[in-house]
């Protein structure tokens, strides 16, 4: 019999606040974290707004020399892990470090470093490239630096499945704990993609909103006037451990992780399957894995990026899986407030699902003003709602057709 797995700690760095209390309060209030970009001159870009993290100071967590040698994505990962460990009441000095794993997600890794060093190469030549360029840029280094910082010697894996990365990581962490590969796993993900090169690339794809004059209203999932996603940055990090271990040390428990489903559309490099087949299958697999029925699910934190095709296809997928129950459960997209953290989104949104269970609050989809006839579910429009929440789903879908779903349950 596989071991039961629970969430005992969370760490949050987000466009609406750093720290879980500030973050959760902002979401319940329907606060948008989308503003004009300040990190670089975005004047020449079609999209000049994003969800920047504005209250994170690296020197609160690292000395200046160390901070300079860590990409912003890695800084988020290590600082967020410290928050999650503190929240879980875990001290690495008192843990069996051989039994602590890190299974972590990021979509594009050290983009700040890549941007900066490309400019150095072009302007100053190859002999001026930093020897830290590669270790700061490669995607696995967030997981590696978490292990190096805290001494965790268990399984250490990085998942790179675009916007599904951290949800796949949570699912893989669940499996590692069920198998007995570790007793505690640090999971979730981070992203710091708000750079000139990254933004220009997504603008070239015409994937992002150009509602620059109304930044707080730009991310509007399921609304008829949605015109693309808004980039976000930050981290959502979870401490997963066995129920047995959590109970033995008297830990607080947010929720139990009970189901995981992963599929691929095998259809297109960036667009979702038009009939939502892969997304639907991922949800079906997660529900089956949990030993539950579709009608047991109370709330879905949707991928809901505010793209015309994506939101429509996810709605279609939900209807395929849940039938008439689709109209009875709540669905919301918190990306309306945080923007889209790419590979870090699933970690943040799994935390939201756990908090919804813990506090009995459904976070809203803000900016939902004009209902799309193709998006006709209960998206918790504009205001948070109180109510008992026992079973939640978090969906993440990525470029390449990657689909990942995790299911959480009240314990």
DSSP assignment of 238-284, as one string? EEEEEHHHHHHTT----EEEEEEEEEE--S-SSSPPTT-HHHHHHHH
Closest residue by Cα to residue 379 from 371, 387, 389? 371
The confidence score (pLDDT) of residue 194 equals: 98
**Please, which contacts does 316-322 make with residues 24 or more away whose CB atoms are closer than 8 Å?**
316/275, 316/276, 316/374, 317/276, 317/277, 317/279, 317/280, 317/283, 318/280, 318/283, 318/377, 319/377, 320/276, 320/277, 320/280, 321/280, 321/283, 321/284, 321/287, 321/294, 322/294, 322/295, 322/297
Residues 349 and 402 in one domain: yes
Residues 102 and 157 in one domain: yes
- Low-confidence residues in the chain, pLDDT < 50: none
Residues 266 and 404 in one domain: yes
Give yes or no for a contact between 273 and 279, defined as CB atoms under 8 angstroms apart. yes
The structure tokens listed for 27 are 């979401």
For residues 333 and 349, give the distance between their C-alpha atoms in angstroms, rounded to a whole number. Answer: 9
**Residue 166: inside a domain:** yes
CA 339 to chain centre: 11
**Residue 253: inside a domain:** no
For residues 196 and 200, give the distance between their C-alpha atoms in angstroms, rounded to a whole number. Answer: 6
**Residue 182: inside a domain:** yes
- Number of separate domains in the chain: 2
Q: Which of 303, 353, 375, 402 is catalytic?
A: 303
Residues 244 and 263 in one domain: no
For residues 207 and 47, give the distance between their C-alpha atoms in angstroms, rounded to a whole number. Answer: 10
Known catalytic residue: 402? no
Residues 283 and 387 in one domain: yes
Query: Which of 229, 248, 267 is a domain's end point?
Result: 248
The confidence score (pLDDT) of residue 2 equals: 84
The boundaries of the domain holding residue 173 are 5-248
Instruction: Characterize the bridge pairing of strands 156-159 and 184-191.
Output: unpaired
Residues 276 and 241 in one domain: no
Residues 177 and 317 in one domain: no
**Residue 207: inside a domain:** yes
- Say how many CA atoms lie within 13 Å of 393 toward its Cβ: 37
Give yes or no for a contact between 301 and 353, defined as CB atoms under 8 angstroms apart. yes
Residues 82 and 219 in one domain: yes
**Residue 377: inside a domain:** yes
**Residue 165: inside a domain:** yes
Closest residue by Cα to residue 339 from 205, 161, 237, 202? 202
Residues 235 and 347 in one domain: no
Query: Which of 248, 275, 301 is a domain's end point?
Result: 248
Neighbours of 254 (CB within 10 A): 27
Q: Which of 313, 340, 375, 402 is catalytic?
A: 340
Residues 192 and 320 in one domain: no
- Say how many CA atoms lie within 13 Å of 65 toward its Cβ: 0
For residues 360 and 394, give the distance between their C-alpha atoms in angstroms, rounded to a whole number. Answer: 16
DSSP-based three-state secondary structure for 169: helix
DSSP 217: G
Residues 154 and 267 in one domain: no
Known catalytic residue: 112? no
- Which whole-number Å values give the CA distances from 410 to 41, 166, 351, 389, in the listed order? 45, 21, 13, 8
List the CATH number of the domain containing 306. 3.40.47.10
Query: Which of 248, 270, 294 is a domain's end point?
Result: 248
Q: Which of 73, 112, 163, 273 is catalytic?
A: 163
The structure tokens listed for 267 are 């259809």
Residues 145 and 79 in one domain: yes
Closest residue by Cα to residue 270 from 402, 106, 395, 108? 402
**Residue 15: inside a domain:** yes
Known catalytic residue: 325? no
């Amino acid at each position: 019999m596989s071991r039961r797995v629970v969430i005992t700690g969370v760490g949050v760095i987000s466009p609406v606040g750093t720290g879980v209390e500030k973050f959760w309060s902002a979401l319940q209030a329907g606060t948008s974290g989308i503003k004009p970009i300040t990190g670089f001159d975005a004047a020449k870009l079609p999209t000049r707004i994003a969800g920047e993290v504005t209250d994170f100071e690296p020197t609160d967590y690292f000395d200046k020399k160390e901070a300079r040698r860590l990409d912003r994505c890695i800084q988020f990962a290590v600082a967020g892990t410290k928050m999650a460990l503190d929240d879980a009441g875990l001290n690495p000095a008192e843990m069996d470090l051989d039994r602590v794993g890190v299974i972590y997600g990021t979509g594009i890794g050290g983009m700040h470093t890549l941007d900066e060093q490309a400019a150095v190469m072009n302007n100053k030549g190859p002999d001026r490239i930093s020897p830290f360029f590669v270790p700061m840029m490669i995607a696995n280094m967030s997981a590696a630096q978490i292990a190096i910082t805290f001494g965790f010697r268990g399984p250490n894996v990085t998942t790179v499945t675009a916007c599904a990365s951290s949800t796949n990581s949570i699912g893989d962490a669940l499996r590692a704990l069920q198998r007995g590969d570790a007793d505690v796993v640090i999971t979730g993900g981070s992203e710091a993609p708000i750079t000139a090169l990254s933004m220009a690339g997504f603008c070239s794809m015409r994937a992002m909103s150009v509602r620059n004059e109304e930044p707080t209203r730009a991310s509007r999932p399921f609304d008829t006037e949605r015109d693309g996603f808004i980039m976000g940055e930050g981290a959502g990090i979870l401490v997963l451990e066995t129920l047995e271990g959590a109970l033995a040390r008297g830990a607080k428990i947010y929720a139990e992780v009970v189901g995981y489903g992963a599929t691929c559309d095998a259809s297109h490099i960036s667009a979702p399957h038009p009939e939502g087949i892969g997304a639907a299958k991922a949800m079906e697999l997660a529900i089956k894995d949990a030993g539950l029925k579709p009608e047991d699910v109370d709330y879905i934190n949707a991928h809901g990026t505010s793209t015309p095709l994506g939101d429509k296809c996810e709605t279609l997928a939900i209807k395929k899986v849940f039938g008439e129950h689709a109209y009875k459960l709540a669905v919301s997209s918190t990306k309306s407030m945080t923007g889209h953290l790419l590979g870090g989104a699933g970690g943040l949104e799994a935390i939201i699902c756990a908090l919804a269970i813990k506090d009995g609050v459904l976070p809203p989809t803000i900016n939902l003003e004009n209902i799309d006839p193709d998006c006709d579910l209960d998206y918790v429009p504009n205001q948070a709602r109180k109510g008992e929440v026992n079973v939640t789903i978090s969906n993440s879908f990525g470029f390449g057709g990657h689909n990942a779903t995790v299911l959480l349950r009240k314990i």
